[in-house]
Amino acid sequence: MATKTLVFRSQEEHSDQRFQSLRTASKTTKRKFKSSEEDVVGQDSFPFVSPEVLSVKEFLNLDPAAAKKSWTVEKQIAVTEEQLEMEKRTLFGNEMEKLEVEVIETNKVLRVRADKNALRKRAEEKSLQLQKTFEERERRTPEVLFPLRHHTVWEGMGVKLSCTFQGCPKPEIKWYKDGVLLQTSSHPGKYKIQSRFGHNTLDISRCTVADSAEYKVIATNKLGEASSFATLLVNSYRGVQSGCDVTKSTIFVSEMEADFDQALKPSFPREGESLALSCRFSSDLLSYQRALLWFKDGIPLQESQCRQLHTGSRSATLTINQVYKEDEGLYSILLPTLTGVKQQSAYVFVRDAAAAVAGAPGSPLDVECSDINKDYVFLTWKPPSADGGSPVVGYFIDR
């Protein structure tokens, strides 16, 4: 009995020693793994040991103060991690919000651009549709507004045949002479065909008897055609056949014929100024020499309100009260002699006058009026020589 008791006690002591050794070893091992915070606190503070590292039995054997401190630190760590997580979520949310705003703005820009393109396309389609509608409404067969008129001229003169058509699409104009198509290339300088704003003209220069014929103009488009015709009669004059007689006589000259003593000189007047061209002769003009003639570009000049012709005994003068651009050209004087004529020529350059309004263009040139009727008249002119620095876009016509 005593032996069993001794053995039991020895076993208990051995068990207690083993438990103490294990406990000591466990504490020693745990003290080796200290955190940086535990080192900063000092040697007197109890080290923080996470419950995950300790067994349940060891954790229950800890002091209450140490266990409380361990739970406090664990809670602070959890709170810190939660704050970091919230900051990460906030930062991620801000980035996502910025991205969403950019996507929305981009969608708005793309939507506005798509709307503009759609509106432009709709406007173009509507414009094309309206244009086609207007063209369909305005489509009409050619129609004669002002027909050709008959003309009778003398041989050597020029004549202009004119008429006006309207139609849509714009009709094609062709001229015929006795049923034969007129070709300006086959008669260079003889015929001149023009068509402007529906007004069509045929100019025939230096008419001869062969030009007497029936002239016809035809306007054609896709919807039909229209035509107008007129007769041109060219009269000729040939001596007795035209009711005149020509006799030749010999003139005996007892005095010396006059000759040019001074040549004409070029002039450079300004618009609005007066011009005087004069020449002197070597002696007094004979009676038949007083029938001298003035020409401008080959056209004889006659005296008028704005132009005076004076012939003295030893001089001849051409005076123009106010010169304009139309007066610019080559002026000549022809002096008759028994053997023919003698001639002097000089060019007149008309300079531009100062504009009444700064930058205003000059006046139109070569204004002509033709085909005067009760309800219409045709005016033709050339553009001014000076446009004032900008193109001329239109003209005003006062009635």
Q: Band the pLDDT of 298: cuts 50, 70, 90.
A: confident
Tell me which residue of 154, 149, 146, 147 sits closest to 212, measured CA to CA: 154
Q: How far apart are CA 317 and CA 320, in angstroms?
A: 10
The predicted model gives 282-299 an average pLDDT of 84
- Domain 256-348 matching CATH 3.30.365.10: the answer reads no
Q: Band the pLDDT of 22: cuts 50, 70, 90.
A: low
pLDDT of residue 18: 63
CB 211 within 8 A of CB 161: no
On the 0-12 / 13-18 / 19+ scale of CB atoms within 10 A, 273 is middle
Q: How many other β-carbons are positioned within 10 Å of the β-carbon of residue 49?
A: 20
Tell me which residue of 369, 395, 399 sits closest to 384, measured CA to CA: 395
Cβ contacts of 396 within 8 Å, gap of 6 or more: none
Q: Band the pLDDT of 10: cuts 50, 70, 90.
A: low
User: Which phi-psi region, left, alpha or beta, contains residue 224 (left: φ > 0; alpha: ψ -120 to 50)?
Assistant: left
Tell me the pLDDT tens digit for each residue of 150-176.
888 888 888 999 999 888 888 899 999
Tell me the pLDDT tens digit for each residue of 53-102.
455 555 555 556 665 666 677 777 877 888 888 887 787 777 888 888 88
Top pLDDT among 234 and 38 is at 234
pLDDT of residue 176: 94
Compute the radius of gyration of the chain from its Cα atoms: 59
DSSP assignments along 130-174, one per residue: HHHHHHHHH-EEEEEEE----EEEETT--EEEEEEEEEESPPEEE
Q: Where are the alpha helices (DSSP H) in the chain?
A: 2-32, 36-41, 56-60, 64-138
pLDDT of residue 219: 93
Top pLDDT among 376 and 274 is at 274
Q: How far apart are CA 59 and CA 192, in angstroms?
A: 125
Q: Band the pLDDT of 37: cuts 50, 70, 90.
A: very low
Q: How many other β-carbons are positioned within 10 Å of the β-carbon of residue 45?
A: 13
- Percent of the chain scoring above 70 in pLDDT: 74
CATH architecture of 142-237: Sandwich (2.60)
pLDDT of residue 345: 86
The predicted model gives 311-331 an average pLDDT of 86
Tell me the pLDDT tens digit for each residue of 120-142.
999 999 888 888 877 777 778 88
CB 267 within 8 A of CB 348: yes
DSSP assignments along 285-330, one per residue: PPGGGGG-EEEETTEE----SSEEEEE-SSEEEEEESS--GGG-EE
Q: Would the pTM count as exceeding 0.75?
A: no
Mean residue pLDDT across the chain = 77
